[in-house]
Amino acid sequence: MDKLVDLSSKSETNSPIRVTSSGNASRFNGVPDWVYEEEVFSSDYALWWSPDATKIAFLHLDETAVDEYTYPVYNPTEDAHTVVPYPNHVVMKYPKPGYNNPRVTVHVFQLDEYFDVMRDLGDDANSTEIAQGVTAELYWDGMYRLEDSIIAEVAWVSGDAFLVREVTRAAEDGNVVYFDFRNTFRNVGKVVRKLGKDGEQGDDGWIDPIQAIHPLPPSLAPDGQPAYLDIVPTSSGYNHIALFSPANFSTPRFLTFGDWEVTSGILAVDANRSLVYFQAANPSSTQRHIYAVPLPKLDGQKPEEVKALTDTSSPGYYDASFSPEGGFYLLSYEGPHAPWQRIIHVFDDKFDYVLTDNPQLNDTLAQYELPIVTHSTIESDGYELNVLEMRPPRMDDSGRTKYPVLFRVYGGPGSQMVDTRFSLDWHAYLVTELQYIVVVVDGRGTGFRGRTLRNPVKNNLGRWETVDQIYAAKLWAAKDYVDPKRIGIWGWSYGGFMSSKVVEADAGVHSLAMAVAPVTSWRLYDSIYTERYMNLPAENPDGYVTASISNVTGFHHADFLLAHGSGDDNVHFANSAHLLDMLTAEKVRGFRFRMFTDSDHSIYRRGANRELYEFMTEFLLEKWGKGGKRRSW
């Protein structure tokens, strides 16, 4: 970001205002580098307007010291027959665990002051010098060294006040810092909230990468002081809505509570009715419902009961998008049945505008037999885990027919695969056409069931998740309708890592595994994600060994399929190359491997996605055959 253009009605010029002059190929203003876009903001911008449009907060990212990663592009065209004698190469700054991160600082450009100064100095003023003169770099006591700092969130809570959330690379300590631009020392902030073991989290887990700060409308702010809502873990480890009023207050005042979690941040605040709208994994962690809760009117007032706006009497998965003042919202039903959307008027129960109810999809679904989906839980080492099972229609569960079982896994920290959303994909084909059973188990480390379930994987990625997957496979192997010789597992990305870890464990229950674009060594993945869960390699050297694929003896004992795109800029192909090297050294030869030329992490280039799924389907049919095997009595 080297230029800003003010288009408001009070603008005194239509010319661009150059705010910064420091940008180059390695230094960015207002836009994130690769790792911040991927792991922190999940967006392509790093600037934030104040609510009254008088100021802009932005990040300056300097990745000069970040090491480069290079990979080839063998064919830049969409024609697979094109011959390119000298491939191009992509060179990207990609920080890996223990190596240099981008150095990030926070700045604020004060547009209102810029216009004041320009008006005073007249036409002869140098606009660039003035803009830089009213741009402040921010500081605060207790700042982490730039080498150890992650700026995790920036949020305005009024036209003059905003917050910065800073955490360490290991995401074990952090602060929320308050800035008030009405003060004389406006660029010096005050730490108002402490995060981590000695702060709001209060345990040995990580600080969740949540960006949920939501300012209260001025009409609801007491005495005109800014206030805001945030998602904060309670003492029992569940993420809930907390009020901080005024905004420089340190103690959260919880609006919601219970053994369930708020999942989407704050959807809206209705200032007229003093209501806060949100989505929650309640009454079951596999569901999503929309709720409202009143803002407290008095200090010390106990939180009021939340009110469900969706039908919680039957399983459902809902999302909502509210109008700016909360008077209307688009309600999206996402499962378990066919999705639909309606517009709801909060003041008129009779208002019911159907945006879409998918009649053609419902007609089509009525013509086919679909998988029979059941939800349940199992207990592994005292932890209750969510399970989804997809069975073929009209399956013989008497025990006379033995069916193969394919476990689908992701399992990354804070993730969720077991939910009640509508889905028809490749797994539905396996179940209905090939007569396989597909099972999904969300093990330790996964999300929306509190920090007690998430925290065990800290510094131990892959250990307890593997234990849970193997335990679940043994439970299914003992079922009357399951063929214990045909139990497999497959996953993509973190799921590919999990599939590989299960093979490495060599527990004797999985006869087949498929890994797509897997991480095989956490020293090869990006720094911000990995260090959040594993700390830095120098602080956890043994953990990095045990969390990676380090012993491939078990690969002799399973039918293994490996696939990866050579142009993967996220989980680099180096991960699969590393695993292939270890398999070569161990003389493991009975596996199947495909490199998909120039495909990125999604594996789509030049028809690769369909080919990948057909490749895996043929592998399953070759190793297991089709359907259940009926035995004679």
Query: For residues 558 and 515, what is the distance between their CA atoms, to the nearest angstrom?
Result: 12
Locate 383 and state its tokens. 């932890």
Mean pLDDT of 541-569: 97
Residue ranges per structural domain of the chain? 1-65+100-211, 368-630
Taking residue 303's Cβ as centre, other Cβ atoms within 10 Å add up to 17
| Dihedral of the alpha carbons of 286, 528, 174, 52, in degrees to the nearest 10 | -80
The pLDDT of residue 7 is 44
Locate 321 and state its tokens. 């998008």
The pLDDT of residue 115 is 82
CATH architecture of 368-630: 3-Layer(aba) Sandwich (3.40)
The amino acid at 223: D
Is the pLDDT assigned to residue 89 strictly greater than 70? Answer: yes
Please report which helix (H) or strand (E) contains residue 151, including its range. Answer: strand 149-156
Q: Check: CB of residue 563 under 8 Å from CB of residue 594.
A: yes
- Note whether 1-65+100-211 and 368-630 share their fold: no
C-alpha distances in angstroms, 236 versus 406, 450, 517?
35, 8, 36
The pLDDT of residue 17 is 81
Mean pLDDT of 180-204: 90
Model confidence pLDDT, tens digit, residues 324-362? 988 999 999 999 999 999 999 988 888 889 999 999 999
Query: For residues 165 and 232, what is the distance between their CA atoms, to the nearest angstrom?
Result: 13
Query: For residues 280 and 263, what is the distance between their CA atoms, to the nearest angstrom?
Result: 5
Locate 357 and state its tokens. 């109810």
Q: Which fold has domain 1-65+100-211?
A: Methanol Dehydrogenase; Chain A (2.140.10)
Residue written as token pair 């003035």: 130
How does the average pLDDT of the chain come out, rounded?
A: 93
Ramachandran class of 557: left when φ > 0, alpha when ψ lies in -120 to 50, beta otherwise: alpha
Q: Which residues are catalytic?
A: 493, 568, 601
The pLDDT of residue 298 is 60
| 149 vs 18, more confident | 149
Q: Map residue 12 onto helix, strand or coil.
A: coil
Per DSSP bridges, beta strands 559-565 and 512-516 are parallel
Whole-angstrom distance between the N-terminal and C-terminal Cα of the chain? 74
Ramachandran class of 465: left when φ > 0, alpha when ψ lies in -120 to 50, beta otherwise: alpha
pLDDT band at 125 (very low <50, low <70, confident <90, very high): confident
The pLDDT of residue 6 is 46
Percent pLDDT > 70 in the chain is 96
The amino acid at 13: T
Mean pLDDT of 530-540: 97
Mean pLDDT of 182-203: 90
Q: Check: CB of residue 207 under 8 Å from CB of residue 201.
A: yes
Is the pLDDT assigned to residue 61 strictly greater than 70? Answer: yes
> Looking at the DSSP assignment, which residues form a beta bridge with residue 279?
290
Taking residue 627's Cβ as centre, other Cβ atoms within 10 Å add up to 14
The pLDDT of residue 5 is 46
Cβ neighbourhood burial of 249 (10 Å; 0-12, 13-18, 19+) = middle
Taking residue 319's Cβ as centre, other Cβ atoms within 10 Å add up to 20
* 216 CB-near residues (< 8 Å, 6+ apart): 157, 226, 227, 228, 229, 245, 269, 295
Model confidence pLDDT, tens digit, residues 365-399? 999 999 999 999 999 999 999 999 999 999 999 98
The pLDDT of residue 11 is 52
Nearest CA among 188, 159, 162 for reference residue 176: 162
Query: For residues 240 and 260, what is the distance between their CA atoms, to the nearest angstrom?
Result: 8
Model confidence pLDDT, tens digit, residues 289-317? 999 999 987 666 677 889 999 999 999 99
* 628 CB-near residues (< 8 Å, 6+ apart): 392, 395, 396, 401, 402, 403, 404, 435, 481, 483
Q: What is the pTM of this model?
A: 0.93
pLDDT band at 59 (very low <50, low <70, confident <90, very high): very high
